[in-house]
């Protein structure tokens, strides 16, 4: 057998490979423009396998910052609102939200049953309102907020009775508040002058509504003659009442407070019934949905898990006249902050909540007060507060997602290096290393994002709606790494810049 027949041809092949010219994209003669316009894909494939760690971190941070700050296609807003709704339905509302506020807030409601029981057509005379407020005063409430506008200068000879009632409250040292009218079409006074002259505090009842749902609550509003704060505004309705009743406990609220809606209706609401699909009337109490069914319905049929029953304890004002010694009425009216408002058919003051069907607007103010009491004057916000300084929620989200970026980038870089070295491995080892370990690290990164968000909620009051987006963004970052988008971008940029394989690291 000849030497040519026994000689191994592979050294010649290796030698020939070494003598091959560099890829055309790296030749100096090609201009930046030509490389950008007609990149060499083979050269880019080689370069992308040498993407540096710092580039992965920078690229993912830039993407996350753009996603969070710029809100493309309204994605951030949608995620925040959806996150808040789901959290209220699944976690915060049914399991985590305390009952401290629920036990200290009640709603005295004027409904059709009250009109029928008292034989008093709507609108009521001022004297009728005076009778109801006098009846409430007998129970020594902590405060009473009148959620009815008195702006019309209609003739009514019982107006002095209401003025006298305001004086009784002042003498009894029970805080009484009225709401002022806003955006009145004919320039009416926000409160009828005869009532305003009593000096009763007048508050701004504005409720922000997003997509028809009350998810947030204003921190500031119109002053109506009160001395404004440094920013030129006055505290909103619930914040003003809370700061008066619990002096020194209210922490700074920047912009909006995020409402947390409870789902476990007050036990005093056992008298309220709801109509099932079959037409039967069932009580609001004792019809709680199981955990697994609640989770299923919250994602696939959220309307089915919502309830028409309010979270706040409610009683009809007619009970103050027809059954004043009822144990539930005594409990709900004594020593509590009472919101006195209407729930009349045909009234436009009704609002959806993340956990309820339509509710009268008075329950939004009651829920805001409930939040302030439950959280001890530190409600959830769309900003994070550290040492008295407020940080924008978007900035906090970027900071929270950064550790996730570091972990995902590090693990992805290890995967890229293994592929570049092309070491021989068994199928079992490849599966365990590339699949199982990768999933573990990704889940760890997402758990880190959840943990950072929970810490921000507990320490700085950042709302769930603001930090859950970190998890969504982390998922997007994982998908980008899975398809190799940052690697390809690095390969293209380095190729266009005229980089050679030996110049990458």
Mean pLDDT of 155-161: 94
Measured at the CA of 439, the angle between CA 433 and CA 440, to 5 degrees, comes to 90
Mean pLDDT of 449-471: 70
Report the range of poorest mean pLDDT among 24-28, 89-93, 344-348, 356-360: 24-28
Total residue length of the chain = 505
**437 pLDDT exceeds 70?**
no
pTM of the model: 0.78
At 429, the pLDDT band (50, 70, 90 cuts) reads low
Domain spans of the chain, in order of start: 46-70+388-503, 96-382
What integer pLDDT is reported at residue 461 of this predicted model? 67
**Residue for token digits 């200290």?**
104
Mean pLDDT of 165-191: 91
Instruction: Mention every residue, 6+ apart, whose C-beta is less than 8 A from residue 208.
Output: 214, 216, 217, 218, 256
Percent of residues, the chain, with pLDDT higher than 90: 35
At 455, the pLDDT band (50, 70, 90 cuts) reads confident
Q: Strand 220-221 vs strand 234-235: parallel, antiparallel, or unpaired?
A: antiparallel
Backbone angles phi, psi at 273, to 5 degrees: -120, 160
**387 pLDDT exceeds 70?**
no
At 502, the pLDDT band (50, 70, 90 cuts) reads low
| pLDDT one-digit tens code per residue, 232-281 | 789 999 999 999 999 999 988 887 898 999 988 999 998 887 766 566 66
Q: Are 298 and 305 in contact (CB under 8 A)?
A: yes
What integer pLDDT is reported at residue 441 of this predicted model? 65
**146 pLDDT exceeds 90?**
yes
**431 pLDDT exceeds 70?**
no
- Our measurement of the distance from residue 60's CA atom to the centroid of its chain's CA atoms, rounded to an integer in Å, reads 25
Q: Are 418 and 467 in contact (CB under 8 A)?
A: no
**170 pLDDT exceeds 90?**
yes
CA separation for the pair 416, 365 (Å, rounded): 55
| pLDDT one-digit tens code per residue, 160-169 | 999 999 999 9
CA separation for the pair 187, 454 (Å, rounded): 47
Q: Strand 273-275 vs strand 281-283: parallel, antiparallel, or unpaired?
A: antiparallel
**189 pLDDT exceeds 50?**
yes
What integer pLDDT is reported at residue 59 of this predicted model? 94
**204 pLDDT exceeds 90?**
yes
What integer pLDDT is reported at residue 150 of this predicted model? 93
Backbone angles phi, psi at 423, to 5 degrees: -80, 150
CA separation for the pair 463, 48 (Å, rounded): 39
Q: Are 263 and 311 in contact (CB under 8 A)?
A: yes
Instruction: Mention every residue, 6+ apart, whose C-beta is less than 8 A from residue 264.
Output: 93, 94, 99, 288, 311
What integer pLDDT is reported at residue 8 of this predicted model? 47
| pLDDT one-digit tens code per residue, 71-98 | 887 777 777 787 788 888 887 888 888 9
* Mean pLDDT rounded to a whole number for the chain: 82
What integer pLDDT is reported at residue 34 of this predicted model? 78
What integer pLDDT is reported at residue 358 of this predicted model? 86
Between 409 and 303, the higher pLDDT residue: 409
Cα torsion 300, 305, 307, 312: sign = negative
What integer pLDDT is reported at residue 386 of this predicted model? 66
| pLDDT one-digit tens code per residue, 16-55 | 434 444 444 445 445 777 777 888 888 888 888 888 999 9
Percent of residues, the chain, with pLDDT higher than 70: 81
| pLDDT one-digit tens code per residue, 476-496 | 888 888 888 998 888 888 888
């Amino acid at each position: 057998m000849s030497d040519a027949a026994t000689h191994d041809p592979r050294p010649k092949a290796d030698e020939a490979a070494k003598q091959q010219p560099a890829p055309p994209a790296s030749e100096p003669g090609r201009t930046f423009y030509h490389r950008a316009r007609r990149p060499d894909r083979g050269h880019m494939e080689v370069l992308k396998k040498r993407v540096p760690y710092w580039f992965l971190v920078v690229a993912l941070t830039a993407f996350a910052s753009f996603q969070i700050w710029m809100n493309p296609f309204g994605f951030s807003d949608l995620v925040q609102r959806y996150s808040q709704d789901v959290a209220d339905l699944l976690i915060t509302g049914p399991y985590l939200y305390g009952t401290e506020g629920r036990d200290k807030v009640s709603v005295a409601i004027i409904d059709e049953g009250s009109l029928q029981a008292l034989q008093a057509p709507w609108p009521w005379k001022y004297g009728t309102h005076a009778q109801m407020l006098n009846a409430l005063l007998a129970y020594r409430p902590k405060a009473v907020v009148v959620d009815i506008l008195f702006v019309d200068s209609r003739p009514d000879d019982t107006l002095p009775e209401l003025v006298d009632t305001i004086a009784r409250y002042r003498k009894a040292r029970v805080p009484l508040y009225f709401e002022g009218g806003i955006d009145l079409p004919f320039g009416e006074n926000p409160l009828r002058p005869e009532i305003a002259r009593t000096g009763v505090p007048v508050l701004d009842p504005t409720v922000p509504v997003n997509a028809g749902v009350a998810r947030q609550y204003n921190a500031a509003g119109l002053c109506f003659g009160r001395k404004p704060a440094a920013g030129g505004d006055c505290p909103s309705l619930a914040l003003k009442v809370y700061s008066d009743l619990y002096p020194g406990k209210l922490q700074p609220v920047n912009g909006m407070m995020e409402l947390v809606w409870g789902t476990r209706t007050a036990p005093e609401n056992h008298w309220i019934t709801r109509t099932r699909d079959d037409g039967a009337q069932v009580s609001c109490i004792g019809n709680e949905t199981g955990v697994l069914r609640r989770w299923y319905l919250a994602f696939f049929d959220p309307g089915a898990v919502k309830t028409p029953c309010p979270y706040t304890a409610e009683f009809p004002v007619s009970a103050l006249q027809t059954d004043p010694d009822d144990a539930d009425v005594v409990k709900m009216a004594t020593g509590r902050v009472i919101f006195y408002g209407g729930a009349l058919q045909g009234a436009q003051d009704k609002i959806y909540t993340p956990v309820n069907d339509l509710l009268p607007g008075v329950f939004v103010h009651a829920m805001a007060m409930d939040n302030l009491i439950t959280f001890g004057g530190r409600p959830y916000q769309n900003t994070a507060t550290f040492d008295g300084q407020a940080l924008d929620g978007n900035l906090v989200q970027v900071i929270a997602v950064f550790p996730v970026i570091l972990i995902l980038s590090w693990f992805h870089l290890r995967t890229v290096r293994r592929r570049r070295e092309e070491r021989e491995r068994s199928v079992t080892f490849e599966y365990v290393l590339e699949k199982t370990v990768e999933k573990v690290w990704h889940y760890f990164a997402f758990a880190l994002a959840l943990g950072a968000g929970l810490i921000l909620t507990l320490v700085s009051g950042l709302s769930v709606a603001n930090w859950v987006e970190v998890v969504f963004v982390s998922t997007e970052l994982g998908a980008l790494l899975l398809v190799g988008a940052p690697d390809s971008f690095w390969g293209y940029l380095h190729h266009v810049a005229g980089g050679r394989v030996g110049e990458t690291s």
